[in-house]
Structure 1
Amino acid sequence: MNFNIIRTARAILNVTNLEESRRFYVNALGFVETESDDTHIYLRGLEEHVHHSLVLKKSDHPSVEVISYKVFSEEDLEALSVFFNKKGLKTKWLEPGVQHAIGRTLRVQDVSGLPVEFFAKMETVDRLLQRYDLYKGAKVQRIDHFNCAVTDVEKAYNFYIKELGFACSEYTTADDDKIWAAWLHRKPTVHDVAFMNGVGPRLHHIGFWLSDPMSVIHTCDVLASIGYGTSIERGPGRHGLSNAFFLYLRDPDGHRIELYNGDYLTSDPDFKPVRWDIDDPMRQTFWGHAAPDCWFNEASTVLDVNTGKVVDTSDPLLEKKKPSIII
């Protein structure tokens, strides 16, 4: 590996109504609207010093255009391009100016069929961490992770760890030791991306970090008070996996957002991944309450980075004896 991937960085979600999306993300959840035009809304968290971590893009149909990672330098982008092309994975360059507020980007469909992007530079803005007078809604601080449904978790696991340099914090296996789900990271927390056994490739959710568990509780009160109570899909609760305090929401187009707080440090080189058995009921929710069926079965479709068309999905390779999505 001769490239340095830093962290989860941004996502582009295609949405059908920008004003409805603005009401949900800005008015209800408290994202900072950095900028907007007739077809885009650029959002960030209060802690973030870059132009955006979430783009809402006007479209006829909801989908995921790309999920993105920041790398250390332009040289890392070049190295990634050579690497992917050697693997037979077709890349696409977007030069500066093609996308707003972001530098040169490299896009590729990864081994699971997910649309992935890498970049080194983005315009910077004022960080609003201590502008407490601007805090509202969930008081979202920063983007944290992606969770993706794929048909072959072990294939994704091996590619991201052995080829891209990610590390594993926690994973779930069945009796045959086949990996059903895995949490992988580049920054020193539980995950930048998780892969789970399911119909894929699809994006299950984007996780955003909140400053404390009470912000999650406060979010529920805010959502209920302004008519978004039905947007709450699951939680609040605490995961066994990751130890995180969580709340899952569905936006007006059905995209799933997790509000997230309370995981732990994974930076030590001798850190050993935590194994969970798929039959352990505490892995999903530490307190034991079950998730709704829609949480297991529904996720956002993803687009092909070269054609812009929806990527076809397939059933998972591992037989589903029970719902296997974890976080």
Structure 2
Amino acid sequence: MPVPAPVLYPPFNIVRLSHVEYRVTDLDRSRAFYVDTLGLQITHEEPGLLMLRAMEERGHHCIILREAKAADVAVLGFKLFDQPDLERAAAFFAGKGLPVDWVERPFQGRTLLTRDPWGIPLEFYVKMDRLEPIHQSYKLYSGVRPLRIDHFNMFASDVDAAVAFYNEMGFRVTEYTEDAETGRIWAAWMHRKGGVHDVAFTNGRGPRLHHSAFWVPTPLNIIDLLDLMSTTGWVDNIERGPGRHGISNAFFLYIRDPDGHRIEIYCSDYQTVDPDLEPIKWDLKDPQRQTLWGAPAPRSWFEEGSLFDGADVAEPVLKAQPIVAP
């Protein structure tokens, strides 16, 4: 299927991705990973719950860690432009026969909770409590010096259908991978905020969350994190990288938290603000697609992901196989 033309005047205006809530089985261990090792800042703490932000963020939180018996993903959050967009979003999802619930969230204004057609839990809001800036509080910088949350990547059982639905909401395709034999999309990167992506979809058993990503200042921050993780008991949590993607041109590292949730540390991609920017197409068998330097990803990167609460996982429609590291 061809990549759909961008919807420049969507039914409601999504500004950007905002936050993710992870359920974790050992909050103290997760705190050691996200706060003590990565360097995210605590904005709220209570028994069984941590809320965190990165260094450039003024919104109250970008990650919620909630202790639970089993690890999964409770919700992905997005910020809307203005209050009327909340009503328009509710009408859009209701018109698709999808759930519409108004929920109370701490430190957040009126919030719409819904799901996409595959069951991914999504929430939309306009106002979140603003905090004082800390981007020049350099004494707080530690770990990998995370500046902001950048994107979500999801496994999708039908990437073409996922791209069509999120395109209708105004996400624009920047780059995509096509399976030459079928003409179907194997993966796609889609944005709202003017980077390479706010959301991405990768062919696989889905829906599952492949990873959440954080933007850092330079590749040297990633090297520093690798040195830190390898000497503080986290070496086995390093999954892939460092390297440079062909897609997005980003310098990357993939790591796993104590429950296996995958986190990408990421920098050096490019702006995609122009509404008429043409998507870049990659062939699935191009070895530089995954890593510009040619190294393929490990099998775990294609097969393992985090379950979404309440979503049933289906096998992928497309059976094409990428290059996998031996």
Q: Aligned residue for 1:249?
A: 255
Q: Are the counterparts in 2 of residues 200 and 314 from structure 1 also a CA contact under 8 Å?
A: yes
Q: Aligned residue for 2:101?
A: 92
Matched letter for residue 141 of structure 1: L
Distance 1:159 1:21 in 2: 34
Matched letter for residue 56 of structure 2: E
Q: Aligned residue for 2:174?
A: 169
Matched letter for residue 173 of structure 2: C
Q: Secondary structure at the match of 1:222?
A: helix
Residues 197-238 of structure 1 deviation map (CA, whole Å, 9 limit, x = unaligned)? 100010000011101111111110111121111111000100
Quote the offset at 1:314 in angstroms. 0.8
Q: Are the counterparts in 1 of residues 287 and 295 from structure 2 also a CA contact under 8 Å?
A: no
Matched letter for residue 153 of structure 1: V
| Structural RMSD (CA) | 1.1
Q: Aligned residue for 1:319?
A: 319
Task: Find the partner of 2:203 among 197, 200, 216.
Answer: 197
1:6 is the counterpart of 2:11: no
Q: Secondary structure at the match of 2:309?
A: coil
Q: Secondary structure at the match of 2:288?
A: coil
Task: Find the partner of 1:33 among 29, 42, 45.
Answer: 42
Q: Are the counterparts in 1 of residues 287 and 323 from structure 2 also a CA contact under 8 Å?
A: no
1:183 is the counterpart of 2:189: yes
Residues 234-272 of structure 1 deviation map (CA, whole Å, 9 limit, x = unaligned)? 001000000000000100011000000010010112211
Distance 1:323 1:42 in 2: 38
Equivalenced residues, count: 314
Query: TM-score, with normalisation over the residues of structure 1?
Result: 0.94
Matched letter for residue 210 of structure 1: V
Gaps of 5+ in 2: 1-9
Q: Aligned residue for 2:4?
A: none
Quote the offset at 1:114 in angstroms. 1.1
Q: Secondary structure at the match of 2:155?
A: strand
Distance 2:275 2:46 in 1: 45
Matched letter for residue 214 of structure 1: L
Distance 2:88 2:283 in 1: 37
Quote the offset at 1:323 in angstroms. 5.7
Query: TM-score, with normalisation over the residues of structure 2?
Result: 0.94
Quote the offset at 1:79 in angstroms. 0.5
Distance 1:107 1:100 in 2: 14
Distance 1:314 1:223 in 2: 35
Q: Secondary structure at the match of 2:165?
A: helix
Distance 2:124 2:43 in 1: 21
Distance 2:209 2:323 in 1: 17
Q: Aligned residue for 1:74?
A: 83
Q: Secondary structure at the match of 1:26?
A: helix
1:102 is the counterpart of 2:111: no
Distance 1:182 1:241 in 2: 10
Q: Are the counterparts in 2 of residues 112 and 152 from structure 1 also a CA contact under 8 Å?
A: no
Q: Secondary structure at the match of 1:282?
A: helix
Moved over 2 A (4+): 320-324
Gaps of 5+ in 1: 305-310
1:270 is the counterpart of 2:279: no
Matched letter for residue 20 of structure 1: R
Distance 1:38 1:54 in 2: 16
Matched letter for residue 19 of structure 1: D
Q: Aligned residue for 2:131?
A: 125
Q: Are the counterparts in 2 of residues 296 and 323 from structure 1 also a CA contact under 8 Å?
A: no
Residues 2-21 of structure 1 deviation map (CA, whole Å, 9 limit, x = unaligned)? 31100010000000111100
